[in-house]
Structure 1
Amino acid sequence: MKLSADLKALQKRIGHEFSRPELLVRAVTHSSMSSPTRDDNQRLEFLGDRVLGLVMAEALLSQDRAATEGQLAPRFNALVRKEACADVAREIALGDAMKLGRSEMMSGGRRKQALLGDAMEALIAAVYLDAGFETAKQMVVRLWGDRVTKVEADARDPKTSLQEWAQARGLKPPTYETVARTGPDHAPVFRISVTLETGQSTEAADNSKRKAEQAAAKALLAQLQS
């Protein structure tokens, strides 16, 4: 199979030339572009998520041999979550090579976090199937770079920490509410409020609900601890 120029360029950016180029094509094909003769990347995404998980688990164990499971788990989650995959995808310009249907193209699919994260996981699986675990591992370690060594010593997400703070004081779990949604469909901004049973509340905004909730929880924790 002859690869297009954008896929050849992607191979160079990730440092792997496919012996089975159809795997690369499938990895960048979104379901909006699939057909009876063209597979999408959903099954590869499923596999890539598991490969990434094993690579990150090994890397964290090797990096900090004294860490407990309780310390490792939040760091692991920070490294494999969709946001991290999307960030890496942006760094290698994966969006430029994605095959999208017209509707996704028109709505800015090449910049959507969920699509980028899914495609990154699919790309990892494609390399794994093409050349084995060690090659996929080397690529992941190279692309994730110093994220592994710089992941916060306590990467426990703020929502979990805030809930634990409330429960330790006999309070109900905090509630989150979408205050506003602005911006175009392909680049929305969500403003989220978080409120404790005591009435204490803060707001934060970001381009995903999850990030906005995390930011709001972090702000409220800082307020409570000041």
Structure 2
Amino acid sequence: MKVETQEKPLHPSEKLLEDRLGYQFRSKSLLQKALTHRSAVYEHRSSRNKARRVRSNERLEFIGDRVLGLVMAEWLLKRYPNEQEGDLGPRHAHLVSKTVLAQIAAKLELFEAIHVASHEEKVGVHHTDSVLADAVEAILGAMYLDGGLAPVCKLVHKVWADIIESQPLPPKDSKTALQEWVLARALPLPIYELISQEGPSHTPVFVIRVVVQDIEGRGEGRSKRIAESAAAKDLLDKLNKIKKVKNRIK
């Protein structure tokens, strides 16, 4: 792998992050790139200082997503040797979800090191789940390119351990839970609809809506399956809130 020359020294927050990761990057520019949100790139390009080309973490996020998926799948196969795909799938989907990735980012205090445009920083975009989750994947991708699978496996096993321990039973996929909800009430099956697909081809964002009895849920994700699951969860949350309100009225 070609290591970039004339690397910029790490910021103190980046050095602290290396300590929390338990990994020292040979190519510091990979870590810096993993922490660079696309808004910072656009701000840099619009400024007068164009001497150094800046790239966002989107490409590293792309490979980090795949690396995390592989490491997690292998871990689950070894940890639950008697479980079938029907149980392993929901476990895997939950552990690599945006919600869990945001929790991992909080553990690593990642928001301190993320580079965003000044106007985005003012509104706290570096605290949002999506930005934090993307940065975690980008860091895993950077670690893989810098040192291979071994350091990624070590980090994943360390920071995901508590989450796995807290969930002895496989989580129920939101789509399955929603389907069981409507069947128990003899209602028509949920209808899923693709609302939009945005972003570059290597990191698309799908937006899905699902409807039950004129009540709508929406979700987004990097695949239709993830977006459908998010939409189902959104709808389930709304249906449960309605149920609670009706129970109070009674």
Same fold (TM over 0.5): yes
**Quick one: distance in 1 between partners of 2:60 and 2:68?**
12
2:62 is aligned with 1:46 = yes
Contact 2:178 2:236 in 1 (8 A): no
Structure 1 counterpart of 2:155, from 127, 132, 139:
139
Amino acid in the other structure paired with 1:108: G
Please name the residue that 2:78 is paired with: 62
Contact 1:159 1:217 in 2 (8 A): no
Deviation at 1:195, TM superposition (A): 8.0
**Quick one: distance in 1 between partners of 2:236 and 2:18?**
35
Deviation at 1:172, TM superposition (A): 2.1
> Aligned ranges for residues 78-157 of structure 1 at < 5 Å?
78-157=94-173
**Quick one: distance in 2 between partners of 1:12 and 1:129?**
19
Amino acid in the other structure paired with 1:109: V
Deviates more, 1:33-42 or 1:212-221: 212-221
Alpha-carbon displacement from aligned partner over 1:62-112 (angstroms, at most 9, x marks no partner):
111000100110011000011111110011111100000022112211210
Distance 1:106 1:175, change over 3 A: farther
- Number of residue pairs the alignment of both structures matches: 198
Please name the residue that 1:25 is paired with: 32
Please name the residue that 1:71 is paired with: 87
Deviation at 1:215, TM superposition (A): 3.4
What 5-or-longer segments of structure 2 have no aligned partner? 1-6, 193-209, 218-229, 245-250
Q: Report SS of the residue matched to 2:169.
A: coil
Deviation at 1:135, TM superposition (A): 1.2
Distance 1:167 1:221, change over 3 A: same
What 5-or-longer segments of structure 1 have no aligned partner? 177-193, 204-208
Q: Report SS of the residue matched to 2:88.
A: helix
Contact 1:157 1:214 in 2 (8 A): no
Q: Report SS of the residue matched to 1:146.
A: helix
**Quick one: distance in 2 between partners of 1:73 and 1:113?**
22
Contact 1:10 1:97 in 2 (8 A): yes
Please name the residue that 2:237 is paired with: 215
**Quick one: distance in 2 between partners of 1:78 and 1:103?**
32
**Quick one: distance in 1 between partners of 2:243 and 2:171?**
14
**Quick one: distance in 2 between partners of 1:51 and 1:214?**
31
Distance 1:221 1:62, change over 3 A: farther
Please name the residue that 2:207 is paired with: none
TM-score (norm 1): 0.77
Please name the residue that 1:15 is paired with: 22
TM-score (norm 2): 0.70
Distance 1:104 1:75, change over 3 A: same
Contact 2:90 2:170 in 1 (8 A): yes
Deviation at 1:134, TM superposition (A): 1.2
Alpha-carbon displacement from aligned partner over 1:20-79 (angstroms, at most 9, x marks no partner):
000000000000011470010001001101111011111111111000100110011000
Q: Percent identity?
A: 36
Amino acid in the other structure paired with 1:107: V
**Quick one: distance in 2 between partners of 1:196 and 1:99?**
41
2:10 is aligned with 1:3 = yes
**Quick one: distance in 2 between partners of 1:212 and 1:165?**
14
